[in-house]
Structure formats: structure tokens, C-alpha cells
């Protein structure tokens, strides 16, 4: 597994950390928002640093932008010994990581995640890629970075709604493998009212869950599927809302509530979990707004089912820190749970 470091003030040490690995120059891939908000923190200290920047947002995670970046790297006369630093949220990590994985058949890649989601989720596990008009993340690779460096101080400029988004994955990690983390989420004030110590502890604990799972199952053949908690219905809701009505974190929050309800109906739950209150506390939705149609959700679930030999598969909570993968959940039960989310 690649080194993963969380340390306040780490940004300022990046040039030195790279020099220790024998690198004198680097290319930084970032988006305009992150560049404006955070670039000042570590630009000094490089022998040569070239910046490749795009606009922010999921719509930028395209092959067109990858191609444009290849052109930039060629113009900058990047060779196989030139490291790429991906400095941003998950969009930059996925797109920039994909470019680093493929240009000259692979450049040394370093992750410097700046959103909460990227810190605890997308920077870990080596998945890189881009979206196609036909669907999200359809083109990509497993390409682990040499290291991931997290400076929790950069969260000071993260927009509030992005904090909520990331919290959905943090709460998910608590439910999957750490009752202590789930308890911490239950008590923590909403983002951004966190001290530097709180930010650091939360990121460390939440990242630890994914780091351990990925170390045991790097190619997603087994237990890594647990990380899909809340994502089966979550993805279907995102699709049914045309990717505009719900953010990913909001969809995952609702997906986790659905998983909780399915677990209750399947008598898997030890006792009801304080999930709803925890999601509300962190600005995440606990019911579906009007206008979501079951037929569209069902169609999206059917795509999932096709991939899984005709069986709907859900990760369901048992108690904080323990989940189970359940295959063959009846569609009718999912519909009932969906309707409950609409009515609640």
C-alpha cells in the first residue's frame, strides 16, 4: 500500500518531500477553485513547478480534458521521471491520475487531496479515470500513487456543501468498520465548525477504514464491495435525478437510510441505529423531495442487476462497525423502502 500521511502544515513540506525522493521538478494538476484558494500554501521551494489547471466540476472529468493535458505535458517536455501532483478534489484526482497513469505509460503520481471526500475516499485505492457521455467512470485504470499527502488545514476553504458531501462517506466508513468513528460523527459539530485537531482526527480515522479494506482487497474482488454501502440505491437516485437534483453525498445519505431500513426488514439489525439524526446533523437529507419516479430508479437498478447475474445486491448494516453483503434482495422490498423515503 502507498504511504498515506495526514499532518497539519504538510503542504509547505511537499517540495522537500519530493526532493527526498530525488525529484527536482514537478507538474501540478489542479482546478481553478483549488488553485485560487490554496496554491499559495506550497508553491515556494520547487526548482521547477509547472501548473496545469482546468475549471472545477464533474463536467470536466472528460477524455477531451485528458487529451488537452497530454498536450500540455508534451509541451512541457515531461519525461518518465517527472512526477505529477494531483492537487484537488476527486475530479482532479481521477482525471489527473488517469493522465499520469497513461502518459508515457505512467508517470510517478502523488495525491494531494483537498476536499474531505478526496481525503478519505477517492485518493485511496488507486482508481483513476474519466467519465463518458454514456456514464460515469467508464474509462479508467488501477494506478496507485507513490504517496498521498493530506494537510487538514486546506479544509478551511472548502465550501460547506462539500463538507456535507464528504461527511456522507465518513459516516459510511464508520458504519462499515468503526463504531468509534460512527460515534465521533454522532457528536461532532457540522462542518466547518471543527478545530484543526478535530479535522485531523476525523480524516485519519475515516481514511484508516478504506486504507485497511483496500490493503486486504486491492482489486475489488471481495470485501472492497462493503464500500458500496448506500451506493446501490444512491447511484440509482443520482441517475433518476439526472445528476442535478442530488449531489453524490446526498444520494449516498439516502441510500444508507434505505440500507438501514432494508436491514431492519430482513432482521439483520441488532437494534435501530441513530443514522437519521447523524445525517441531519451534518446537513444531509433524510427524505426524498417530490418528483422522483420509481420507474426511473427501477431502470437504474436493473442496470446494476444485469452486472450481477440478475440479483440485486445490497450492503446492509448490522451494527456500527459491521455490515453484511446480501444478494437477492427482492425488488418489491426496495420499492417499499423507496416509497418510505418519499413519504418521510
Ligand X SMILES: NC(=O)c1ccc[n+]([C@@H]2O[C@H](COP(=O)([O-])OP(=O)(O)OC[C@H]3O[C@@H](n4cnc5c(N)ncnc54)[C@H](O)[C@@H]3O)[C@@H](O)[C@H]2O)c1
Q: Which residues bind ligand X (CB under 6 A)?
A: 31, 33-34, 37-38, 56-58, 61, 88-92, 94, 114-115, 117-118, 121-122, 125, 127, 136-137, 154, 157-159, 162, 165
DSSP 131: E
- Half-sphere exposure of residue 302: CA atoms within 13 angstroms, side-chain side: 7
* C-beta closer to ligand X: residue 190 or 218: 218
Residues 16, 17, 18, 22, CA torsion sign:
positive
**Smallest gap from residue 67 Cβ to ligand X (A):** 18
Q: Which residues pair with 110 in a beta bridge?
A: 85, 147
Torsion sign, CA atoms 102, 50, 47, 123: negative
Residues in the chain: 344
> Which alpha helices (DSSP H) does 268-330 contain, by range?
275-281, 294-307
- Cis bond before residue 139 (omega within 30° of 0): no
Residue closer to ligand X by CB (options 57, 272) is 57
| Three-state secondary structure call for residue 206 | helix
Of 175 and 329, which CB lies nearer to ligand X in the complex structure? Answer: 175
CB 294 within 8 A of CB 335: yes
With a CB cutoff of 8 Å and minimum separation 6, the contacts of 117 are: 89, 90, 162, 165, 166, 169, 248, 249
For the bound state, the minimum distance from the C-beta of residue 116 to ligand X, rounded and expressed in Å, comes to 8
Q: What gap in Å lies between CA 236 and CA 320, rounded to an integer? A: 24
Would you tell me how many other CB atoms lie within 10 Å of the CB of residue 314?
25
Compare residues 100 and 118 and give the one whose CB is closer to ligand X. Answer: 118
Smaller CB separation from ligand X, 200 or 329: 200
Min. distance of Cβ 154 from ligand X in angstroms? Answer: 4
- Count the alpha carbons within 13 Å of 59 in the hemisphere toward its beta carbon: 3
Q: How far, in Å, CA of 90 to CA of 87, rounded?
A: 9
Q: Which is nearer to ligand X, 112 or 257 (CB)?
A: 112
The answer to whether residues 77 and 19 touch, using CB atoms and an 8 Å cutoff, is no
CB of 133 to ligand X, least distance (A): 15
Write down the least CB distance from residue 75 to ligand X, Å: 24
Shortest Cβ 165–ligand X spacing (Å)? 5
Give the residue closest to ligand X by C-beta: 90
- The number of C-alpha atoms within 13 Å of 167 and in the hemisphere containing its C-beta is 31
Nearest residue (CB) to ligand X, 154 versus 268: 154
What is the closest distance, in whole angstroms, from the C-beta atom of residue 111 to ligand X in the complex? 10
Query: Which are the catalytic amino acids?
Result: 105, 127, 169, 210, 220, 224, 228, 231, 235, 248
Rg over alpha carbons for the chain, rounded to the nearest Å, is 20
Amino acid at each position: 500500500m502507498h504511504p498515506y500521511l495526514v499532518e497539519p502544515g504538510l503542504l509547505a513540506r511537499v517540495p522537500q518531500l519530493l526532493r527526498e525522493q530525488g525529484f527536482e521538478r514537478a507538474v501540478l494538476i489542479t482546478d481553478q477553485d483549488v488553485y485560487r484558494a490554496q496554491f499559495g500554501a506550497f508553491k515556494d521551494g520547487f526548482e521547477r513547478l509547472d501548473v496545469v489547471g482546468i475549471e472545477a466540476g464533474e463536467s470536466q472529468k472528460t477524455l477531451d480534458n485528458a487529451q488537452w493535458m497530454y498536450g500540455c505535458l508534451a509541451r512541457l517536455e515531461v519525461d518518465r521521471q517527472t512526477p505529477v501532483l494531483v492537487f484537488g478534489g476527486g475530479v482532479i484526482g481521477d482525471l489527473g491520475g488517469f493522465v499520469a497513469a497513461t502518459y508515457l505509460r505512467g508517470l510517478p503520481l502523488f495525491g494531494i487531496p483537498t476536499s474531505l471526500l478526496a481525503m478519505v475516499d477517492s485518493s485511496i485505492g488507486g482508481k483513476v479515470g474519466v467519465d463518458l457521455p454514456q456514464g460515469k467512470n467508464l474509462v479508467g485504470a488501477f494506478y496507485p500513487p507513490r504517496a498521498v499527502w493530506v494537510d487538514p488545514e486546506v479544509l478551511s476553504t472548502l465550501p460547506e456543501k462539500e463538507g456535507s458531501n464528504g461527511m456522507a462517506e465518513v459516516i459510511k466508513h464508520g458504519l462499515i468498520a468503526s463504531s468509534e468513528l460512527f460515534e465521533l460523527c454522532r457528536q461532532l459539530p457540522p462542518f466547518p465548525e471543527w478545530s484543526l485537531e478535530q479535522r485531523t482526527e476525523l480524516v485519519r480515522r475515516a481514511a484508516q477504514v478504506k486504507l485497511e479494506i483496500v490493503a486486504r482487497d486491492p482489486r475489488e474482488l471481495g470485501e472492497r464491495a462493503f464500500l458500496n454501502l448506500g451506493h446501490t440505491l444512491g447511484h440509482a437516485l443520482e441517475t433518476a435525478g439526472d445528476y442535478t437534483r442530488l449531489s453524490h453525498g446526498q444520494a449516498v445519505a439516502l441510500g444508507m437510510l434505505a440500507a438501514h431500513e432494508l436491514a431492519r426488514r430482513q432482521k439483520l439489525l441488532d437494534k435501530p441505529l441513530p443514522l437519521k439524526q447523524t445525517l441531519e446533523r451534518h446537513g444531509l437529507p433524510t427524505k426524498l423531495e417530490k418528483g422522483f419516479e420509481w420507474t426511473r430508479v427501477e431502470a437504474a437498478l436493473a442496470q446494476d442487476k444485469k452486472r450481477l447475474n440478475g440479483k440485486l445486491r445490497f450492503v446492509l448494516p448490522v451494527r456500527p462497525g459491521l455490515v453484511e453483503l446480501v444478494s437477492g434482495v427482492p425488488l418489491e422490498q426496495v420499492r417499499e423502502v423507496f416509497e418510505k423515503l418519499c413519504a418521510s
